[in-house]
Amino acid sequence: MASSKLFLLLAISTITVTSSPTQSAKKPSTSAANFILKSCNATGYPNLCVSSLSPSAAAINSNPFLLSGSAASIALSRLRATRSRISALANTTSTGRESAALRDCADTLGDAVDQTSKSAKYLGKMAAGKGAGSGSIAWRVSGVQTWMSAALTNEGTCGDGFDGVPMDSVVKKVVAMVAVVKMYSSNALALVNILVS
């Protein structure tokens, strides 16, 4: 158990933070930094939330739609990179059972990529105040909540697919990568939920 926790921590530490498209060179205000800190305290992984969103603090300012949209964009970036790495591993792994699990994982992560992409785009439209439809905020955000929840489910399905597969170095690496992606997606969903809380 200790070794798996250490492996997960190493996996997190070796992943560089990708800034969201809203990142700005401006220095963030104290209120923007405090807004991110306070919002991230409502997530499952607040330290990861703060470290990933702080580079975009100036652009986010205190806009909750930009905040959740940035979190979804960051989760999307992680998902795409992880899916790409797992697909490559599936093509180079000789063990039939392991290779099948890797391919299944890549497929389910592909679904999660689509769902998270929809979320990020929709939140971007809501932040810009255009093309996001009519109705109450709760009604409009409900679609994003559904997509992000489905993305998390697909990420969990990917990880569950390795149950019963021998835990060699490749499988351990993949399980750790997926666990990190789930943290980002979980944080993004928590920030979306704040929009209607």
The candidate with the shortest Cα–Cα distance to 87, out of 99, 73, 75, 77, is 99
pLDDT of 22 above 80: no
Give tens-digit pLDDT for 134-163.
667 788 899 999 999 999 999 999 988 888
* Structure token digits, residue 121: 């785009």
pLDDT of 118 above 60: yes
CA distances 31 to 57, 62, 178, Å, are 9, 7, 33
Give percent of the chain with pLDDT exceeding 70.
82
Lowest mean pLDDT among 48-52, 61-65, 74-78, 184-188: 61-65
Question: DSSP string of 144-155?
Answer: HHHHHHHHHHHH
pLDDT at 11: 45
The candidate with the shortest Cα–Cα distance to 38, out of 49, 27, 24, 22, is 49
More confident residue, 45 or 137: 45
For the whole prediction, is pTM greater than 0.85? no
pLDDT of 13 above 60: no
pLDDT at 24: 39
pLDDT grade, residue 14 (50/70/90)? very low
Q: Which domains does the chain have, with CATH numbers?
A: 63-194 (1.20.140.40)
